[in-house]
Structure 1
Amino acid sequence: MKLKYLLGSLAVVLLLSGCNDDKTEGPRLYALYGDYSSTKVFKIDTREMKDVATLDVSPAQGPYGVECDSKTEAFALTRRGESIAVINFRTNKVVDVIPLRFKPRSTATLPGLDLVLVSGKSKPMAVTIGKRDHKVRRYYGIDTDEGVDKLHYFGGGNATGHPFWLADGHRFLLLDRVHRKIFLFDKDDETPLNSIDTETTAHHVLTLKSEYDVNGNGDYYVVLEGPKDANDSAIPAAGIMKLRIDAQNGMQIVKIFHADHASGGAHHAGFYADRYLFLPTYNKKVYVVDKETMEKVAEFPAGLGGGHITFSPKKKIAVVTNHKDTFVTIVDIKDPTHPQVIENVEVAKPLTDEEREAGKNAQSHTSHFDDSGRYFYSVANCDHKFYELDTEYGWISRTCHLDGNYIPMGDFVRY
């Protein structure tokens, strides 16, 4: 214990003297986060650990998050109104506010494609927008908000999940949560190429480059959100669906992995070591699934509201974000089939009853490791605090206060 104290004291001295790993040289890492309760977007310099710019995206309202869609611009996911704001994160200016036919949910881009795909929060729709000219190209999906307020699945009241481009730059997937369908579209046609039904609402799609060909035909993995209430046996358990798409636009469900029903809902999964899918679930359990067999190979405990997992391949560790809890869970993943919890580190204040009732999360959806793989960055939403976690020592090494009220999601960019 005395040795750890002395080492810890030395680490503090190094931090104060500016010897904190590689933070003093090269391009800087910036974080961009939105304040859902206002019109503010914050830009944080992680080297200086300070808010270097606060942008006002009005008349757009409620930037839930920010997603970087080019080397200079990002879209603020202004979910409280039927428009989306575009910011230049290098000049720190709002360059456009684009009117839409729905409130926006999320975006997707593809390298070399001059389009941003935006899915809907208020309607099961999507729209393509020019990256450079910010002009609306085409709408897709069902132009109605009917049924959005009657969703009884885990994942909240968004009409869609995260949209997803296929590698050909023509086709994309629209995850319709209202009708529990996944639509395959061509960007040049409003009529779907195909669709499949899903057991529960679908949240997002992930895959590996080894899983599909140059045209995007191959295997995709879709997180099924499961029940809002783990005791609701009428709704299938959360899990991961392996989906195959072929050159004729066929869509085939290959296999579905189901978590235990008692584990509750699922949010985001992540790939590690080009084979294993890590799936956090609401009720304190994380599953490790082999993509080859779509079977569980391991599980380990985490906190309440497990929703995201961020990997550090260099250090062979992962951090689980526990949305409804006060701590993150650091895990040793040297052997992904035998993960070992290292420790839980306190990062956020407990949610109040009022915050829980409003559906708020204590911890952000978005996190990031620095290039060294040692320092983990994220936000404590209701604390209005951006923080740096030193995973080697298991403590919060630096923080930055943000002048907001609820800061749930963002993105990271280096330049």
Structure 2
Amino acid sequence: MNAPSEPSLAFFGDNDGGRVVVVDLTSWKQLHDIGTGSGPYPVDRVGPDLLFASTRRDEAMSVIKLASLTVEHTLELRHTPRSTTPHPSRPLALVSGGNRALTSVIDVSGPPKVLEVVGSGEALSPAENPSIDFGGQLATGHPAWLDEGTRFFQLNRITRRLQVYDVGASQPLWSVNVPTSIHHILRYPGENGRWYAVCEGNQFSRTPPSLLRLEEQAGRFAVTSQLFLPVPLQALPNAGGHHSDRAPDDAHVYFGSAEGSLYVINRHRMEVVDRLDAGKGCGHTRVARGRGLGIITNHDDSFLTVFDIAARKVVKTIQITSGTTKPQKKQQGHTSGVDPQERYYYHTASIDGRVLRIDLDRLDISDADYIDVGGYPIQGDFVWRD
């Protein structure tokens, strides 16, 4: 008799509760709570049996073993952690700074340890943030590796600079000023020497979000194109760039803006070719490729927006939260996922303390599709198993 397969799991940081919530997606139940340090936000998988919980109110991270669902130890840092990015092929991870413009390089080949810390180190004062760009009160954006090598980006939100470092080098290899703070970098697999950077925009100066194309040729870096989103003038006080996502054809980029628009960009021509109406806080697009559907997270609204990828038309909106609003709280979390069989879409109604799933056949949700986990489950990761 074959042994039962292991369940697929979801991990979400409860930013209010000092814990990571573990949900068994196979049996659809809350499996476990893992006590962590203060203010866990992202939970990122950095190895086959290793996750980092970025405890944003501590200058440390909680290191979680997947096999035991326990905190193995606390990894001390010189800054609070913003988020973690594992290397695509080496036992390394980057942790960017929440309160200081620093990046820690972590060796995860054994018990995790800090190899080095780089960056200019400006300290962030939430009351006097020099950038005040759309992305909030954090010193850096999400860290990113350039490719399969050891170079990486640091996204300094305080000084609005993009920098390239190499592991073992304390000074940047390249640096450039950007129009507004960069939130994250998008790279297409196998396409070395080209990257896309999401500039957040600034609501106070009425600067719209923009997409930068960065290229490396003969060892020299350059910004080769910049596209400002065509946000209408009256909508600029509510605009803001968060994340961009790859369209299934790899020729287009989905770029959401907080006023409630999803812009479809031809990345080769660097031009907007379409716009879809979404909800407030339009921030992420998850694709169910086999079903031809895109699902938009609207952070500051009560519904998801579902669209037909080929037709670029909205086909449905799905209410997932109560619509409750609280200062500095998002209605919907950052992390969503579609299982490998594309039966369910998973997400969080963060404001209500709930994890949810949507049946992709029905494109609907019922009470049985919610798990009440309490707290504020905001960001995490999935471990998919057959």
- For 2:341, the equivalent position in structure 1 comes to 372
Residue 39 (1) aligns with residue 18 (2): yes
Residue 63 (1) aligns with residue 40 (2): yes
SS in 1 for 2:112: coil
- For 2:56, the equivalent position in structure 1 comes to 79
Q: Indicate how the Cα distance of structure 1 residues 102 and 402 shifts in structure 2: closer, same or farther if over 3 A, else same.
A: farther
Quote the Cα distance in structure 2 between the aligned partners of 1:133 and 1:47: 30
SS in 2 for 1:314: helix
What are structure 1's unaligned runs of at least 5 residues? 1-24, 213-217
SS in 1 for 2:286: strand
Code of the residue aligned with 1:180 in structure 2: it is: R
Code of the residue aligned with 2:119 in structure 1: it is: G
Kept after mapping to 1: 8 A contact 2:99/2:138: yes
What are structure 2's unaligned runs of at least 5 residues? none
SS in 1 for 2:15: coil
Residue 125 (1) aligns with residue 102 (2): yes
Query: Structure 1 residue 239: deviation in Å?
Result: 1.8
- For 2:306, the equivalent position in structure 1 comes to 330
Kept after mapping to 2: 8 A contact 1:351/1:362: yes
Q: Deviations over 1:186-245 (max 9, x none)?
A: 011111111111100100011212421xxxxx1100111001x2xx4x353102111112
Aligned length: 372
Query: Structure 1 residue 388: deviation in Å?
Result: 0.7
SS in 1 for 2:365: strand
Quote the Cα distance in structure 1 between the aligned partners of 2:134 and 2:353: 25
Quote the Cα distance in structure 2 between the aligned partners of 1:267 and 1:408: 15
SS in 2 for 1:268: strand
- For 1:94, the equivalent position in structure 2 comes to 71
SS in 1 for 2:377: coil
Q: Which of structures 1 and 2 has the bigger CA Rg? A: 1
Kept after mapping to 2: 8 A contact 1:315/1:374: no
- For 2:154, the equivalent position in structure 1 comes to 174
Code of the residue aligned with 1:238 in structure 2: it is: P
- Residue pairs, 1:91-170, within 5 angstroms: 91-131=68-108, 132-146=110-124, 149-150=128-129, 151-170=131-150
Kept after mapping to 2: 8 A contact 1:330/1:344: yes
SS in 2 for 1:255: strand
- For 2:321, the equivalent position in structure 1 comes to 348
SS in 2 for 1:283: coil
- For 1:278, the equivalent position in structure 2 comes to 254
SS in 1 for 2:330: coil
Q: Aligned to 1:245, which of 202, 216, 235?
A: 216
Kept after mapping to 1: 8 A contact 2:295/2:307: yes
Q: Aligned to 2:230, which of 247, 260, 276?
A: 260
SS in 2 for 1:382: helix
Quote the Cα distance in structure 1 between the aligned partners of 2:260 and 2:113: 44
Kept after mapping to 2: 8 A contact 1:147/1:178: no
Q: Indicate how the Cα distance of structure 1 residues 241 and 137 shifts in structure 2: closer, same or farther if over 3 A, else same.
A: same
Quote the Cα distance in structure 2 between the aligned partners of 1:247 and 1:141: 25
Percent identity between matched residues is 30
Q: Indicate how the Cα distance of structure 1 residues 315 and 27 shifts in structure 2: closer, same or farther if over 3 A, else same.
A: farther
Query: Structure 1 residue 247: deviation in Å?
Result: 4.5
Quote the Cα distance in structure 2 between the aligned partners of 1:235 and 1:29: 44
Code of the residue aligned with 1:134 in structure 2: it is: P
Kept after mapping to 1: 8 A contact 2:93/2:107: yes
Quote the Cα distance in structure 1 between the aligned partners of 2:190 and 2:50: 29
Quote the Cα distance in structure 1 between the aligned partners of 2:98 and 2:216: 26
User: Which moved further from structure 2: 119-128 or 27-36?
Assistant: 27-36
Query: Structure 1 residue 62: deviation in Å?
Result: 0.8
Kept after mapping to 2: 8 A contact 1:34/1:410: yes
SS in 1 for 2:241: coil
Kept after mapping to 2: 8 A contact 1:35/1:408: yes
Code of the residue aligned with 1:260 in structure 2: it is: P
Query: Structure 1 residue 38: deviation in Å?
Result: 2.0
- For 1:224, the equivalent position in structure 2 comes to 199
* C-alpha RMSD of the superposition: 1.6
Q: Deviations over 1:163-190 (max 9, x none)?
A: 0012242100000000000110001111
Code of the residue aligned with 2:15 in structure 1: it is: Y
Kept after mapping to 1: 8 A contact 2:281/2:299: yes
Kept after mapping to 1: 8 A contact 2:122/2:158: no
Kept after mapping to 1: 8 A contact 2:344/2:359: yes
Q: Deviations over 1:241-267 (max 9, x none)?
A: 11112342x221111111124351010
Quote the Cα distance in structure 2 between the aligned partners of 1:42 and 1:374: 22
